[in-house]
Amino acid sequence: MQTHGGASPFQCKECKKVFKGSSALTLHRRSHGGDRSYPCKECGKVFPRSSQLTRHLRAHSGDRPYPCTDCKKAFKHFSALNLHRKIHDGDRPFKCKQCGKAFICSSRLTRHLQNHSADRPYLCEECGKAFKDHSALGVHRRIHNGDKPCRCQQCGKAFIFPSHLTVHMRTHSGDRPYRCKECGKAFSTSSALTTHMWTHSGERPYECQQCGKAFGQAFKLRKHQRTHSGERPYDCEECGKAFRDSAKLTVHRRVHSGEKPYKCQHCGKAFTCSYLLTRHLQAHSGGDRPYRCKECGKAFSTSTVLTIHMRTHSGERPYECQQCGKAFSRAFSLTKHQRTHTGERPYDCEECGKAFRDSAALTIHRRTHSGEKPYKCQHCGKAFTCSPHLSRHLRTHGGGDRPYRCKECGEAFSSSTALTAHIRTHSG
């Protein structure tokens, strides 16, 4: 504010800063004159305003008077609560112009921009990944050395980062504090909510420069890029098997340790990863399949399985073998196929030493030793070691059901194998 003559009535004579009122100017003058009249009795620190002292005292008392109504997390300052609320409503107004990633506050965007800077002087000796500061490198090293200092008091599971432990604790409490305003679906982490919001907007800001495939999250793009480079920086110390990301290595290590930390509360069955437990729980829920294909009406238990199924209609095969050009609709199918070139058979039977290209084949083979036949026909009681054998058998009860039809002559077959053999009679 200024007078008509151009002079400011509330201007600091020391630094020329202008204020709206005399009280604000008076408080400001203390910063020059050293008049800090509000001392903290705990530590002796002095403040120019009583409000600043009040806020400071919470550092000693631990008082957090501003709780979030959505997730009950509490904050020392009202401004921090307001910032936190943006996580729940999905508001991320500060967007990176280089990669499109958005943030709830400008300081986080500023910190993120350093990721685009080429200056990363701290290099990991194990995998070559570079970091901006030594502390970030120290945390990253835990991935390689297995150090997990953050332990859950309820189940004993340990984590590299405190934030991962916080998220894990919600698996015990069932807490899902982040809710989508579009459809009401709730999530245990803000990042999961952000990713979900892109299913409504269709936004995929992270694009692969080699094939054009786009992703909703930066880490998914990084993982995808390794399908082009063939890079597998995470090695198992036990068997030497290498993985594209640390999460898959963590799950794989449980094959050696026998650890199964994900336990079903209904029947006690335990699993090596959360995905297998989630899939198993559907057996108790009556087979809930909320994700339906718009093309054929088939329903699925997870959105991931639906996405893979949709490729049967679109013909999309995004995973291509660099050696022979054969393409696949799923990444693990490409991995299995690549072993036909390398001859790799990493899954050994403990009983007879026979080796297999994938763990599913080993699981089925083990049943030849144990005699287990978990797939039973409801019509005649005959049991089988794997579901395809049961499916093939069920056609003998289905009144001659032959779902595989030749496009050349119309003849139908009960199995895809029989149809393939028949097609050869046309091609000569």
What is the Cα–Cα distance from 216 to 99, expressed in whole angstroms? 11
Q: For position 7, what pLDDT does the model report?
A: 47
Q: Which domains does the chain have, with CATH numbers?
A: 1-63 (3.30.160.60), 74-314 (no CATH), 373-427 (3.30.160.60)
What is the model's pLDDT at position 409? 85
Give the C-alpha separation, 168 to 282, whole Å: 21
Quick one: tokens of 336? 């299995």
pLDDT score, position 223:
81
The overall pTM is greater than 0.75: no
Q: What is the pLDDT of residue 367?
A: 86
Q: What is the pLDDT of residue 214?
A: 80
Q: Are 382 and 393 in contact (CB under 8 A)?
A: yes
List average pLDDT for each run of 10 residues in the chain, which is 428 residues long.
52 79 72 66 78 79 79 77 75 78 78 72 81 82 82 84 83 81 81 76 77 77 82 83 82 84 84 79 68 84 81 85 87 84 82 83 86 86 86 72 78 76 75
The CA distance from 86 to 103, in Å, is 9
**Eight-state DSSP code of residue 17:** -
pLDDT, position 33: 57
